[in-house]
């Protein structure tokens, strides 16, 4: 039997993680990691003066960030980012960048988690689409690294797809949000034509703006979907859902996959990047499942329900798809590829 003395450090570690998250998010928001990366050797005082911030606060932030291993400091208090953290905390264009996700956690998820006890009585949820444009844009920032990873690495690895992508596909991104993945595809494979659909109209406004700003308006389009279907005619060679499947209301999932089946070309590919909930109580503790387990908890107030592998496969089969590959990618995502039967 473990004793309280043995169990207590577990709780202490979780609380440390909570505080470290806020420390890192503040560092991103205030541009501290970027500034230290650009000018290694700065002291906390110089950093405060350069950025017009309160020196005593800055000093405590720097000391704590050093204690936690985000920064390295010498005895003169000269700072640099701990090696390896530059792309994660200071380089917004890197697929490793986590600044957007940290912002989403402290600005939105924290509020949901704080309200959870009062929601347990009713099971009330505020879905994604009811949260406004700033929220949708923050989600787009949080998923930016994933877009680069899927467009540049994971899709080209799907057998037979790389060559078709280079030749130019007609592709549909379902749940395109602010359009980040459509833009990543259009940059990686300029010969293709890309369409996005979403029920989140504020996100589509941001997507249209980003598409125009990138100069891709002729090759990339977005359209509003209703929960009954997509106002589109196919066929599409490729249909993608990036971090969307678990966000779709469970009763709507068969209909959405039915729309994908209606719109996909005979030899087309359906590619789903999502999370998979463990099927057994024992699997809830497997380290590789910690992402979906914690997503399911932290997105309770959004009404999201993460499907199990059996649920994913029966929905796909029911809509007329055969699953070709299933792989775990990144820190706990599932990549599914399927074709029409
Ligand atoms: C986590 S966001 C991901 C957005 C985008 N794929 C990305 O990677 O940034 C989930 C998206 O799924 C969309 N969504 C949820 N239910 C939907 C439905 N029934 N039809 C179309 N899109 C839906 C949401 O509006 C939201 O934009």
Instruction: Report the separation in Å between the CA atom of 117 and the middle of ligand 1, taken as the mean of its atom positions.
Output: 26
The reported pLDDT for the residue numbered 299 is 95
221 and 76 share a domain?
Answer: no
pLDDT of residue 341: 94
Residues 216 and 280 in one domain: yes
Per-residue pLDDT of 60-105, as tens digits, reads 999 999 999 999 999 999 999 999 999 999 999 999 999 999 999 9
More confident residue, 234 or 318: 318
172 CB less than 6 Å from ligand 1? no
Q: Is 67 in the pocket of ligand 1 (CB under 6 A)?
A: no
If asked whether residues 264 and 116 sit together in one domain, one would say yes
Domain that holds residue 29: 4-91
Expressed in angstroms and rounded, the spacing between residue 88 Cα and the centre of ligand 1 is 25
Q: How many domains does the chain have?
A: 2
Residue 67: per-residue pLDDT: 98
**Residues composing the chain:** 341
Evaluate whether 164 touches 237 at the Cβ level (below 8 Å): yes
Q: Which of 91, 119, 142 is the last residue of a domain?
A: 91
Nearest residue by C-alpha to atom 15 in ligand 1 = 248
102 within some domain: no
Same-domain status, 166 and 274: yes
- Distance from the alpha carbon of residue 175 to the mean position of ligand 1, in angstroms: 3
C-beta of 128 in contact with ligand 1 (< 6 A): yes
Q: pLDDT tens for residues 246-265? A: 999 999 999 999 999 999 99
> Can you give the CATH number for the domain in which 287 is found?
3.40.50.150
Query: How is residue 199 written in tokens?
Result: 């029920």
Question: Do residues 46 and 186 share a domain?
Answer: no
Q: Which of 196, 247, 272 to mutate to test the pocket of ligand 1 (most atoms within 8 A of CB)?
A: 247
Is the pLDDT score of 288 beyond 80?
A: yes
Query: Could you tell me if residue 310 is inside a domain?
Result: yes
Closest CA to 165 of 147, 188, 144: 188
Tell whether 86 and 130 lie within a shared domain: no
Q: What is the mean pLDDT of residues 36-47?
A: 98
Please give the backbone phi and psi of residue 190, each rounded to the nearest 5 degrees, phi first: -65, -15
Instruction: Using the Cα atoms of residue 189, residue 194, residue 198 and residue 203 in order, give the sign of their dihedral.
Output: positive
Neighbours of 312 (CB within 10 A): 24
- Name the domain boundary from 40, 59, 91: 91
Range of weakest confidence among 63-72, 271-280, 314-323, 325-334: 325-334
Domain end among 33, 59, 91: 91
pLDDT of residue 260: 98
The verdict on 149 and 46 lying in the same domain is no
Q: Dump pLDDT digits (tens) for 123-182.
A: 888 887 788 899 999 999 999 999 999 999 999 999 889 999 999 999 999 999 999 999
Task: Specify if 333 maps to a domain.
Answer: yes
User: Are residues 182 and 54 part of one domain?
Assistant: no
- Alpha carbon of 49 to those of 35, 36, 52, 67, 208: distances in Å? 12, 13, 5, 22, 39
Nearest to residue 175, comparing CAs of 94, 272, 258, 105? 272
Tell me how far CA of residue 53 lies from CA of 44, 59, 89, in angstroms: 10, 10, 20
Q: Say yes or no: CB of residue 247 within 6 Å of ligand 1.
A: yes
Output the CA 122–ligand 1 centroid distance in Å: 25
Regarding whether 137 and 83 lie in a shared domain, the answer is no
Q: State whether 79 and 127 are in the same domain.
A: no
- Whether 243 is in a domain gets the answer yes
Question: What torsion, rounded to 10 degrees, do the Cα atoms 169, 172, 173, 177 define?
Answer: 120
């Amino acid at each position: 039997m473990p004793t309280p003395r043995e169990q207590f450090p577990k709780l202490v570690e979780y609380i440390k993680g909570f505080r470290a998250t806020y420390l890192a998010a503040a560092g991103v928001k205030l541009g501290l990691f970027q500034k230290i990366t650009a000018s290694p050797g700065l002291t906390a005082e110089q950093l405060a003066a350069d950025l017009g911030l309160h020196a005593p606060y800055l000093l405590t932030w720097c000391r704590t960030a050093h204690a936690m291993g985000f920064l390295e400091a010498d005895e003169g208090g000269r700072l640099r980012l701990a090696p390896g953290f530059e792309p994660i905390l200071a380089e917004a264009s890197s697929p490793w960048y986590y600044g957007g996700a940290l912002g989403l956690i402290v600005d939105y998820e924290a509020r949901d988690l704080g309200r959870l006890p009062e929601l347990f009585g009713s099971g009330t949820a505020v879905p994604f689409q009811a949260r406004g444009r700033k929220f949708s844009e923050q989600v787009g920032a949080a998923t930016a690294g994933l877009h680069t990873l899927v467009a540049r690495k994971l899709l080209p690895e799907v057998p037979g797809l790389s060559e078709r992508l280079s030749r130019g596909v007609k592709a549909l991104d379902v749940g395109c949000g602010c359009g980040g993945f459509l833009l990543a595809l259009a940059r990686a494979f300029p010969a293709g034509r890309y369409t996005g659909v979403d029920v989140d109209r504020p996100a589509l406004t941001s997507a249209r703006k980003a598409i125009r700003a990138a100069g891709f308006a002729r090759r990339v389009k977005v359209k509003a979907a209703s929960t009954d279907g997509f106002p589109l005619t196919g066929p599409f060679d490729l249909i993608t859902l990036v971090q969307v499947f678990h966000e779709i209301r469970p009763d709507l999932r068969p209909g959405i996959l039915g729309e994908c089946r209606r719109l996909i070309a005979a030899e087309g590919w359906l590619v789903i990047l999502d999370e998979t909930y463990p099927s057994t109580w024992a699997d809830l503790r497997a380290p590789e499942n910690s992402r979906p387990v914690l997503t399911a908890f932290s997105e309770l107030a959004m009404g999201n329900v993460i499907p199990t592998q059996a649920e994913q496969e029966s929905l796909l089969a029911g809509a007329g798809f055969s699953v070709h590959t299933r792989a775990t990618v990144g820190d706990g995502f599932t990549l599914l590829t399927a074709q029409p039967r």
